[in-house]
A = this chain, B = another copy of it.
Amino acid sequence: MQLSDREPSTAVKPVMWEELEQLIATGQSPERIEAYLAALPVGETARVLSRLTDDDRVRLINVLPADEAAGVIGELPRPQAVELLERLAAATAATLMHLLPSDVRADLLGEVRTETAEAILDAMHPEIASSARAMACYAPDTAGGLMITEYLAYPATATVTDVMDDLRAHADRYRNYSSQYAYVVDRERRLVGVLRLRDLLLARRTQPVDELMIRNPLAVRADAPLNELEAFFDERPFFAVPALDETGRLLGVVSRDAVKQAGSDRNVDDYRKAQGIIREELRSMPVLLRARRRLAWLSINIGLNVIAASVIAVYQDTLASVIALAVFLPIISDMSGCSGNQAVAVTMRELTLGVLRPAEVMYVLGKEMLVGIVNGLALGALIAGVAWLWKGNVYLGLVVGAALALNTMVAVCFGGTIPLVLKRLRFDPALASGPVLTTVTDMCGFFLVLSFASMALEKLTGVA
């Protein structure tokens, strides 16, 4: 028995990726390099490969046997795999393409430059190339983009024996097909049934698959989007679903795994987008590229920040009379942002769980208002106490406490509903909710505290 009882990744002895660099630089034999890669602890391969320079990765691929090289491409983070393909000879890239699963192949071809993709496709086996071209028509997060084209298909006229003979004859090839089903098609390759392979075990040998298959099988259209596929698998215990074109012809098979993975990627993308990392950044990428991508987001934010802070400029005289207020401005800005972002996160989660619909703005508003009143009063009282104790002036406490209390209510109501509104306006809520929220709550918060202070100016002067 081989127990996979290696240590958790945090405890694995670090491998110096410089060793691999050295092996490549000194022109070691492919066997040495293969042995090095094979000896890497589980989970270290991706890290070691990702740290090489682009040039070293090209050398590595050219030195390794094709199946090992395809394995390396599969291990690399996607942006690095794409960059690598751009740098390989088209013939080399084409050979590797043949060895990759059809969905990975289609993703990669969709991400390299058009000229590179064309050159690689031209060098590929014509049949595989035409199937890859067909898949490339579909967006990545649709059935067509997620499907694989390695599946079993038989004519309706075949018998159980025919199928079993074929399975035996091509056992080696089929072992790499991960499906539990075979698909039954008519002469025009239109799907007419699905055959569960294990049902063959329970059947008479002479039975035609026609009798054994599940008729009117469920299928999806190749342009079905990810959220539809997720709903499909959430409700049904299937491992895979066939994807058809508009005329009902079988194009490929979408697995539950592929849909889960795509959904998980999207969720993590949402998190990264909310933090302003819009495209896939790895620290091994060039500094200027990384800096430029991050700046794109930051420069929008600084613009919004200047707009929000201009509210303070309007009230400069008030602030000059009661300088202590300046201490509370960043607190009110930050706390309202926190409260609002909590409401954003609950809405995003409820949308993902399917317990909230984009139209239910009033429902969210009602629910957030109540939390906003409770938390606004609590936080307002807290900050009022701090202000009062600090300066011994109860009016200062009242001004900042009331402003924070009111602004907390505004922030949770706005934060809870802004993703719904953005979604209906077809903006990406994960990307845009944060900056819009912060700008609005900052402006509102600065306005509240400074206008309250202006009204109570007589009671406040002499405070600072």
Contacts and interface: CB of A to CB of B under 8 A. Distances in A.
A227 B8 contact: yes
Contacts of A284: 355
Contacts of A370: 287, 291
Contacts of A206: none
A313 interface: yes
Interface string A211-246: 000001111110011011001100101010100100
B50 A355 contact: yes
Interface string A364-377: 10011011001100
A313 B324 CA distance: 7
A167 B201 contact: yes
Interface stretch (A28-36, A346-354, A454-462): A346-354
Contact of A239 (B178, B201, B270, B346): B178
Contacts of A224: 4-5
Interface stretch (A82-90, A104-112, A113-121, A379-387): A379-387
A312 B298 contact: no
User: Which of A327, A331, A364 has its CB near the most chain B CB atoms (within 10 A)?
Assistant: A327
B298 A349 contact: no
A43 interface: yes
Given A14-B357, A291-B374, A331-B309, A1 B320 contact: no
A187 interface: no
A346 to B, nearest CB: 5
A42 interface: yes
A219 B263 contact: no
Nearest to A416: B283
A267 B271 contact: yes
Given A198-B167, A287-B370, A316 B464 contact: yes
A359 interface: yes
A444 interface: no
Identify the interface centre among A219, A276, A302: most chain B CB within 10 Å of its CB.
A302
A214 to B, nearest CB: 11
A15 to B, nearest CB: 10
A253 to B, nearest CB: 14
B326 A312 contact: yes
Nearest to A278: B342
A197 interface: yes
B345 A327 contact: no
Contacts of A282: 346, 350, 353, 355
B299 A371 contact: no
A281 B346 contact: yes
A311 B345 CA distance: 31
Given A277-B349, A341-B275, A342-B276, A354 B248 contact: no
A433 B248 CA distance: 51
A44 to B, nearest CB: 8
Interface stretch (A56-64, A124-132, A133-141, A254-262): A254-262
A27 interface: no
Interface in A173-191: 176, 178, 180, 190-191
Nearest to A273: B345
Contact of A271 (B200, B274, B374): B274
Contacts of A464: 316, 320
A154 to B, nearest CB: 14
Interface in A14-65: 14, 42-44, 46-47, 50-51
A209 to B, nearest CB: 14
A198 to B, nearest CB: 5
Contacts of A313: 324, 327, 390
A386 B306 contact: yes
A316 B320 contact: no
A364 B287 CA distance: 12
Q: Which 7 A-B pairs have the closest CB atoms?
A: A275-B345, A264-B264, A271-B271, A291-B374, A283-B367, A326-B326, A50-B355
